[in-house]
A and B are shown apart, each in its own frame.
Chain A
């Protein structure tokens, strides 16, 4: 890729950086308990939690940094942080 004049770029390349590799703890989402409130999705700093066809939520583990904010804020305690087996 040629060097961009003036140090500029179009969007897209940030996604090449798989920040999921940063994780120590991994959030596990329990759909049995989930009330579909959407809090986790709105507060994730990575914006990597998406809603599925049934209205449940799941993180994209390629980018999830395991910060634990979703687990902390989930009003139903449907998310638990587990040490990741690497």
Chain B
């Protein structure tokens, strides 16, 4: 059982106030414990936690390049195996590093079946470089490389389904989590770490700076993502969905209107067709994962 009183991520790091990723790092480390080696990709978390000579990491940690965390982790796992050491190898990488530029390395690592845990902190864009679109950016989100304008509603593509892709690689445990439910997050990370083989946990981390909301709302917005069905918290064991968090669903509008990155769907004119399209995505998620709490009607 994870020692939740353990603080392995030092204060004094330079994350924005209200940063979801910083919280994710703290919580992940509670699940991991001190007998871990963390591999970070280039990105917000790496940058705000390790400006030489200040490091917030109280476990052994390594950063190499943007796209190769999985390959570096593979090498560490291999080395530990030969040395007979028991530390757990954990990757902590953003969505850009995972879904896009790191696709080659994560696919190779999972195909080879290394005993590593890959945690993706998903803030749905390249945040560290100033909020550019990634394969994890949701439909119609405005980013600097998929901006909303007179000719565009923002990002044209839905989120890449990374958890399913890794389940298809034969990953024994794949889960999605959110900083909205910290205890669930810790439990899932712990399970992933204790499952032998390559495991994956994708954590939803709202970004106040990138999505356009006040820092105090980070948890509230993470909750709304789940309550509207736009983010589903679920677990997959050996490729089959075993558990999904059920909700009494709210209309997607309640989530979209809280963030500047979706403001163009409401101002200057309300975009009914676009909002309906997003609602349809949420409805499909609800159906696929069975998340609707059905309130029985009295006949």
Q: Which residues of A contact B (CB under 8 A)?
A: 1, 4, 7, 9-19, 22, 42-48, 60, 63, 65-69, 71-73, 81
Q: Roughly how many angstroms separate A43 CA and B182 CA in the complex, as a whole number?
A: 7
- Extra contacts, 6 of them, besides A43-B23, A45-B17, A46-B13 (Cβ < 8 A), are A16-B12, A19-B11, A45-B19, A65-B18, A68-B215, A71-B216
Known pairs A47-B11, A68-B216, A72-B216; A16 contacts B54 (CB<8 A): yes
Name B11's closest neighbour in chain A (CB-CB): A63
The total of chain B residues at the interface (CB under 8 A) is: 36
Q: Are B57 and A11 interface neighbours, CB within 8 A?
A: yes
Number of A-B contacts (CB under 8 A): 99
Query: If the complex has contacts A7-B52, A9-B53, A72-B217, are A17 and B18 also in contact, measured as CB distance less than 8 A?
Result: no
Contacts of A72 in B (CB 8 A): 216-217, 219-220
Chain A binding surface SS class? loop
Known: A16-B54, A22-B17, A72-B216. A45 touches B10 (CB 8 A): no
Q: Which B residues are within 8 Å of any A CB, using their own CB?
A: 4, 7, 9-15, 17-20, 22-23, 26-27, 49-50, 52-58, 179, 182-183, 214-220
Q: Can you name 12 A-B pairs with beta carbons within 8 Å? A: A11-B55, A11-B56, A14-B12, A15-B10, A18-B12, A42-B27, A45-B26, A47-B26, A65-B17, A67-B218, A69-B216, A73-B219
Once bound together, how far apart are the Cα atoms of A84 and B55, in whole Å? Answer: 28
